[in-house]
């Protein structure tokens, strides 16, 4: 691995996340995030060389949104690029911005992810991902009960259900400290038993309470070359590395290819390249793309290369809480806020804010020297990004 030059995150902006943003149109909502990101970087739009824009294809039933969003993004007369890689779009936007700056092509890049899920039909859009001959007539969108079934089989019904619900309540407690989060329910641990039984079932033991929201919102981030980042920002969050891995579903995930989690594959590769031998010790914080509390619980094992029930213990003993040894999603995560084209970017943005010490009320009570962020999308598409407090290369 060789990087041409270092890239720092020097500004982060987020709109408020909500189920409905009737008072703003798409460019207006994006502009909220852009204005905040530029202010946070101490820049004006004139200082930006290139705009990278992304969201889910088909979700708002719009074509080439980057062009008419120029009103909100400030891309007029600038170089620009649109990225659309499904659920991982936000993380791929970060990867693209990193490449554009690291290559030397641009010094300052503004990346923007957005979604207004209330304006479209999410399942209608997602279903078109499937192969028209083999999958499209069978495909049901993004909900799956497989992980719940697997965890119940491996660890027993009582323990698995308790862990998933504890994860859910912890994430809500985190979201309560993030005033931009969409769902802040004020759950308390003594509600766990009642929710496990009475929350409506979606697929198997995946219940409504476990599942992420559908949100409207936008996120914007400013990336700068080492020279500019150092001059403009007291503490940038540096991009050390990122790894992308994905698999096709009909012939691959459900076929007879060997089962290998893209999460574990990407994590192994990332740690190997960056010399990390004990991720749980060497990484200070993890912003995970956790679409449900079953997935969030299960995927800890994959991302941290754990075996057995270590990941369950991390949840049971509060290790992943905001003030725990390995904080996961101090922002409240995806279960709290999920504007899909922005969601994976928000993971990197929130990890960056923690390194920069700018996370406000949900800032973790320790210095974050190294933070991990994951993106997830169909089908089994993983982007893992590693950020550092020190200049990495």
Half-sphere exposure of 66 (CA within 13 A, CB side): 21
Using CB under 8 A, count the residues that bind other proteins. Answer: 32
Give min distance, CB of 65 to other proteins, in A: 12
Q: Which is nearer to other proteins, 118 or 369 (CB)?
A: 118
Give min distance, CB of 140 to other proteins, in A: 15
Q: Candidates 6, 70, 89, 262: give the one binding other proteins (CB under 8 A).
A: 70
Q: Candidates 7, 8, 15, 21: give the one binding other proteins (CB under 8 A).
A: 21
Stretch that binds other proteins, among 64-72, 234-242, 244-252, 306-314 (CB under 8 A): 64-72
Q: Candidates 5, 39, 42, 61: give the one binding other proteins (CB under 8 A).
A: 61
Q: Candidates 23, 197, 234, 256: give the one binding other proteins (CB under 8 A).
A: 23
Angle (CA) 115-244-129 rounded to 5° is: 50
Residue ranges in the chain assigned as alpha helix (H): 26-41, 65-68, 70-73, 89-102, 122-127, 146-155, 157-175, 192-198, 226-232, 262-274, 279-282, 293-303, 310-316, 333-336, 340-356
Binders of other proteins among 113-132, rule CB under 8 A?
A: 116, 118-121, 124-125, 128, 132
- Any contact of residue 179 with other proteins (CB under 8 A)? no
Q: Which is nearer to other proteins, 82 or 280 (CB)?
A: 82
- Any contact of residue 341 with other proteins (CB under 8 A)? no
Q: Candidates 65, 74, 279, 327: give the one binding other proteins (CB under 8 A).
A: 74
In angstroms, rounded to a whole number, what is the distance separating the alpha carbons of residues 96 and 365?
Answer: 31
Closest CA to 180 of 365, 344, 339: 339
- Any contact of residue 25 with other proteins (CB under 8 A)? yes
- Any contact of residue 136 with other proteins (CB under 8 A)? yes
Distances, alpha carbon 313 to alpha carbons 163, 193, 212, in Å = 9, 19, 23
In angstroms, rounded to a whole number, what is the distance separating the alpha carbons of residues 350 and 363?
Answer: 10
- Any contact of residue 197 with other proteins (CB under 8 A)? no
Helix, strand and coil percent figures for the chain, each rounded to 5? 40, 20, 40
Determine the straight-line distance between the first and last CA of the chain, rounded to whole angstroms: 10
User: Under the rule (CB under 8 A), what is the footprint of other proteins?
Assistant: 21-28, 31, 34, 44-45, 58, 60-62, 70-72, 74, 76, 116, 118-121, 124-125, 128, 132-133, 136
């Amino acid at each position: 691995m060789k990087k041409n030059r270092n890239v720092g995150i020097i500004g982060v902006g987020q709109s408020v996340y909500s189920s409905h943003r009737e008072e703003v149109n798409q460019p207006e909502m994006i502009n909220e995030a852009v204005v905040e990101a530029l202010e946070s970087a101490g820049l004006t739009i004139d200082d930006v060389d290139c705009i990278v824009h992304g969201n889910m294809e088909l979700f708002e039933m719009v074509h080439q949104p980057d062009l008419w969003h120029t009103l909100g993004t400030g891309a007029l007369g600038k170089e620009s690029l649109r990225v659309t890689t499904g659920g991982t779009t936000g993380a791929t936007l970060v990867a693209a911005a990193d490449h554009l700056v690291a290559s030397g092509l641009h010094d300052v890049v503004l990346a923007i992810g957005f979604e207004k899920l209330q304006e479209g039909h999410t399942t209608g859009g997602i279903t078109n991902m499937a192969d028209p001959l083999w999958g499209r007539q069978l495909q049901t969108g993004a909900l799956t009960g497989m992980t719940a079934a697997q965890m119940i089989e491996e660890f027993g019904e009582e323990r698995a259900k308790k862990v998933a619900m504890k994860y859910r309540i912890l994430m809500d407690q985190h979201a309560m400290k993030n005033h931009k989060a969409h769902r802040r329910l004020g759950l308390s641990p003594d509600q766990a038993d009642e929710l496990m039984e009475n929350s409506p079932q979606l697929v198997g033991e995946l219940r409504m309470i476990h599942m992420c929201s559908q949100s409207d919102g936008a996120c914007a981030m400013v990336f700068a070359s080492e020279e500019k980042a150092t001059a403009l920002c007291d503490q940038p969050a540096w991009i050390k590395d990122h790894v992308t891995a994905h698999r096709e579903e009909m012939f691959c995930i459900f076929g007879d290819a060997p089962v290998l989690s893209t999460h574990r594959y990407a994590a192994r590769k990332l740690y190997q390249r960056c010399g990390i031998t004990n991720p749980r010790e060497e990484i200070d914080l993890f912003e995970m793309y956790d679409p449900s509390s079953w997935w969030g619980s299960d995927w800890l094992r994959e991302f941290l290369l754990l075996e057995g029930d270590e990941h369950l213990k991390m949840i049971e003993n509060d290790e992943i809480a905001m003030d725990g040894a390995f904080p996961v999603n101090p922002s409240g995560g995806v279960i709290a806020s999920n504007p899909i084209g922005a969601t994976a970017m928000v993971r990197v943005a929130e990890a960056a804010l923690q390194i920069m010490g700018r996370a406000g009320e949900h800032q973790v009570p320790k210095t974050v020297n190294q933070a991990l962020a994951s993106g997830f999308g169909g089908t089994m598409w993983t982007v893992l990004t590693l950020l550092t407090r020190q200049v990495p290369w």
